[in-house]
Structure 1
Amino acid sequence: MNRNDDKLERARQLLDGGEPTLEELGRAVALSPAHLQRRFRARFGLSPAEYLAQRKLGKLKSALREGSDVSAALYDAGYGSPSRVYEAGAAKLGMTPARYRAGGEGEELRWSTVDTALGTALVAASERGICMVELGAGERALEAKLRAEFPNAGLQRVDAGRDAFLAPRVRAVADALAGKKAKVEVDLLGTAFQKKVWDALMRIPQGETRSYAEVAAKLGAPNAARAVAGACARNRIAVLVPCHRVVRGDGSIGGYRWGLPLKRRLLQREGARLSVADAAVRNASAARGRA
C-alpha cells in the first residue's frame, strides 16, 4: 500500500468513527479537500459524504431489522433528527424506517417475473424504485422469498408489460442478466464494509476473477477474507453485483447464493478462465454423481 493509499484508508477509518467534514478529513490526512474527494472516489467508488451516508444507512437498517425502537435506531445510527433520515434515508430504504422495520407494513409493492437468459427472475418495486431482484427455479419459490423480505407489505403481481413504471425496469434487468449493456440503478443496502465489498466487485472487469483474499487486501483489510465471503453471500442483487467473479485462493469457484452451476456458467459466458483446481472439483462431483 503506497502513501496515498495509507491516507485514504485513514480517511475511511475516520469516517467509520465519526462525521468529519471534508475539510476536517483533509486536514487529518494532509490532503486538500479537492484532492481527497477525487482520490477517495477513485479508491472506494463514492465520495466521503456518500460513504458516510451509506454507513449510517447500513447501521440504521441493521438495527431496524433486529427490532430496535425506531427513534433509538435513528439516533444510534447518527441521524440528528427523524427528519434527516426521512430526507436522506427513506429514499434508499424504499420506505420509511418504521415501515421497513415492520416488514413493509403499509407499503404497496408491485412485482413480476420475467424469463431471462439465466432462468426466471423476480423484480419487485415500490413507487420509489426497485427493491428486490431474485433468481430462482420457479415463480412460487421467488414469491416466497419476496414475502419473507417484506412479510407485511401489500404485494401485487402485475403483468410487467402493462405496467408503465415496472416494465422498463424489468426489461433492463433482463438485458443485464443476458450479458447485454443495460442501465440498471442498484440500491446497495448493507453495512459500510458490505458496501465496500460490493463496490469492489463491480470494479472487477468482465472475464476476470479475484480471490476473497485479494478483494480483502484491495480494501486494506488483508485478514478479512471470510468477511468478504460473507458480504458476497448477502448480496441480494444477482449478477448486477457480480459476486460470481470472486473465487477461492486455489482457483476453485467456491460458493454462490444462486448455485455453483450458475456461477460456473456466468464465468464461462464472460470468458473467465476456470482453474485446474475447479476442473478437478467439477470432475470429482461428476464422478460421485455417476457412482
Structure 2
Amino acid sequence: MKNMNSIKIEFAVQMECQKCVDSVRNALHKVEGIRNVQVSLDQNSVIIDTNLSHLKIQEIIENTGKKAVLKGYGEDNYSAVSMLGGNSGYSFGDVIRGVVRFVQIEKGCIIDGTIDGLTTGYHGLHIHECGDISNGCESVGEHYNPYHTPHGGPDDPPSKRHVGDLGNIMADNNGRVTFRMINDLVDVSSIFGRSLVVTSKMDDLGKGDDPASKIDGNSGKRLACGIIARSSGLFQNTKRICACDGLTLWDERDKSVIKQKRNKSALKMNNV
C-alpha cells in the first residue's frame, strides 16, 4: 500500500556502468522510508518513492561515490521552490542559504527544506503575502493570511492560525536545519509568487501575552527570504547543460558545493 505522505523524487545521477547502477540501487533499497526504486543507466536517472527529505536521499546516493542533482519533485504541476539567500533570494549579512520545496498531496502540502548559516536554536518559518524582495525581507508584506485569522502554530485549528504559519525549525550546532513537514492548510497553487521567510527568534505560536504574539509570534528580525516559484515535477526538467554558462549538471553542482563551503567559512569568521 502506498504511503499517502510519500512522494516521487527524480535525481540525475552520474553513472557510467552497470556496477554504478547496482551500487546506487543497493544503497537505496537498504533504507526504511524508500520504495519503488527505479535506476536508469541510459537516462542517468534515479526515481524513488519516499517519505524522507530530498537531502537525505541525495546524501545516500552520493555516499556511493556518485554525484546527484535533484531534477524533479512531485508528480504534477503543483510543486514549488523557494531559494533563500544567494542570487535568487535575500539574507541579512549574506550568510544564510537555503532551498525549501513544496509539493501538493492529498492531505495538504509537504514542505521539505535545508537551510544553512543560522544560529543554533529555533527560528520561525512563515509564508508571506508578497513576492517582492526589492527591499530585502522588509518588502514581502505580512504573513499570508487570506482568512484574516490570528497568528498561531501549525497544530492550531484553522480558525486560530494564518495559512502562512509554518511554526519553528531548529538549527544544529553547525547552523544547519533540515526538515520535512506536512501542512494541512497550505495549497501550493495559492502560494506561487509569494515568499518564504526565516526569522531570528523562535515563534511563540501566538501563545504570548502581548498583542504582537497574535500578529507575528514575536519571532524577531526577518533574516532570510526567497520568492516561492513553480518548480519541475517528474520528467519536466530535461536540462543537461546550463544555458547561462555552459556548465553540465555535474559542474554546476560542484560549483554550488564550493560556494556553500565558502559561505560556511565566512559564517565562522564573522561568528554570526
Q: Same fold (TM over 0.5)?
A: no
Q: Which has the higher helix share?
A: 1
Q: Compare relative contact order (CA 8 Å, sep 6+) and give the higher one, 1 or 2.
A: 2
TM-score (norm 1): 0.27
Between structure 1 and structure 2, the one with the greater Rg is: 1
> How does the TM-score come out when normalised to structure 2?
0.28
